[in-house]
Amino acid sequence: MKILGIETSCDETAVAIVEGRGENVRVIRDAVASQIKIHAKYGGVVPEVAARAHVEKIDALLRGLRTADYGLRRDGKGIDAIAVTAGPGLITSLRVGVDVARTLAWAWDKPLVGVNHLEGHIYANFIGDENGKKRGGKGKEKGIRFPAVVLIVSGGHTELVLMTRHGKYRLLGATRDDAAGEAFDKVAKILGLGYPGGPAVSKAAGRGNPDAIAFPRPMINSPDFDFSFAGLKTSVLYRVRDSKFHIPNSKFIADVCASFEKAAVEVLVEKTIRAAAKHKAKTVLLAGGVAANSRLRKDLGRAISARLPTTHYSLPTLEYTTDNAAMIAAAGYFRARKRQFADPLKLEPRADWQL
Ligand code: KG4
Ligand code: ZN
């Protein structure tokens, strides 16, 4: 089954065509027009600017899929269904993708799936080659088995979710303030590393000493599965403000980044392991933009091997960790298989749609 995916929930305009077969999803074509440069000068995403950029980019991206290689024809022939992110996200941004998808579904008479963006991040774990193998990813080759505990870490969300089967979720815990990615972005801002901050902090951390500064590990011993990152970010702010070093001092910046990263990752790993143990998870899945972080990928893997040796670990291929349309199409495939379609005349974006 071939699915056209459309993603415009935040600051990336993305389209993709994937082919789903059984439990495997293979990407035929995936294209992203990033707005990073546009928003960088504001230090964050400006919703009205983002929506306008989606409108300007989406037609050209879709036209790019209309080649013999990618199989999308002018009349929509070549695909079986359309999947679009319907929330959560910026409402004006979501509206662009949803309206385009509704129009195409209606004009081409194709089934339409409204996909939850977080479900998309989860289904990035199901993307592999035709044999289900993931490049640089992990896990799919042995299959993802349920129940699974999913750690979703993105710019807007930090959640631990119990996934009992395809499309079925129970929220175990979430951040009470900042999301993990948001904390990375704010630390980058404090240190003058620019936007988006995650990749910059992670890069600088690679040159630093993760034990240089003892930052707090908020809520690491609380019995629930909630998180809090605002206090950790404030500790970084105070440490930088009180420092005798003047920014830019690259050794100091690297040590702050490495120590912050270690503190944040330790909390994420500890809570994930405890949730997986409590719920007897057969698989632990990592999902969302912060799943690109190499310390998190590695440390979570090590902790699972050491403490839950029979639990399987799945993480997405690096290129599908941050926002893209292939993951939306992949999630759309699993819903289309069950014929969970939306009415093209009625699908509405929902800014705060819970998983
Ligand atoms: O999932 P995503 O692309 O967008 C949302 O749905 O929010 O996640 C973006 C977030 C940003 O906060 C970004 O700084 C963070 O993911 N991020 C990282 C890394 N790459 C992206 N955080 C830490 N380390 C990284 N390597
Ligand atoms: Zn995202």
Give me the residue label for tokens 């070549």: 78
pLDDT at residue 75, rounded to an integer? 87
pLDDT surpasses 60 at 150: yes
Mean pLDDT of 254-267: 98
Out of 322, 327, 353, give the residue to mutate to test ligand 1, the one with the largest number of ligand atoms within 8 Å of its CB.
Answer: 322
Rounded to the nearest angstrom, the distance between the alpha carbon of 50 and the centre of ligand 2 is 15
Residue 173 token pair = 């815990």
Mean pLDDT of 130-146: 68
pLDDT surpasses 70 at 246: no
Longest dimension (CA), the chain: 65
For atom 26 of ligand 1, the residue with the nearest CA is 293
pLDDT surpasses 50 at 15: yes
Tell whether ligand 1 has an atom less than 6 A from the beta carbon of residue 120: no
DSSP class of residue 341 equals P
pLDDT surpasses 90 at 71: no
pLDDT digits (tens, 9 = 90+) for 207-221: 999 999 999 999 999
Cβ proximity of 134 and 255 under 8 Å: no
pLDDT at residue 140, rounded to an integer? 47
pLDDT surpasses 90 at 257: yes
Cβ proximity of 330 and 127 under 8 Å: yes
DSSP class of residue 138 equals B
pLDDT at residue 319, rounded to an integer? 95
C-alpha separations of 304 from 64, 138, 298 in Å: 41, 13, 10
Q: What angle do CA 119, 124, 126 make, to 5 degrees?
A: 105
H helix and E strand count, the chain:
10, 11
Out of 13, 290, 355, give the residue to mutate to test ligand 1, the one with the largest number of ligand atoms within 8 Å of its CB.
Answer: 290
pLDDT at residue 105, rounded to an integer? 98
For the chain, give the percent of residues with pLDDT over 70: 95
Cα 115 from chain centroid (whole Å): 13
For atom 10 of ligand 1, the residue with the nearest CA is 155
Mean pLDDT of 319-334: 98
pLDDT digits (tens, 9 = 90+) for 266-304: 999 999 999 999 999 999 999 999 999 999 999 999 999
Residue 180 alpha carbon, nearest atom of ligand 1: 12
Tell whether ligand 1 has an atom less than 6 A from the beta carbon of residue 184: yes
Cβ proximity of 313 and 125 under 8 Å: no
Tell whether ligand 1 has an atom less than 6 A from the beta carbon of residue 316: no
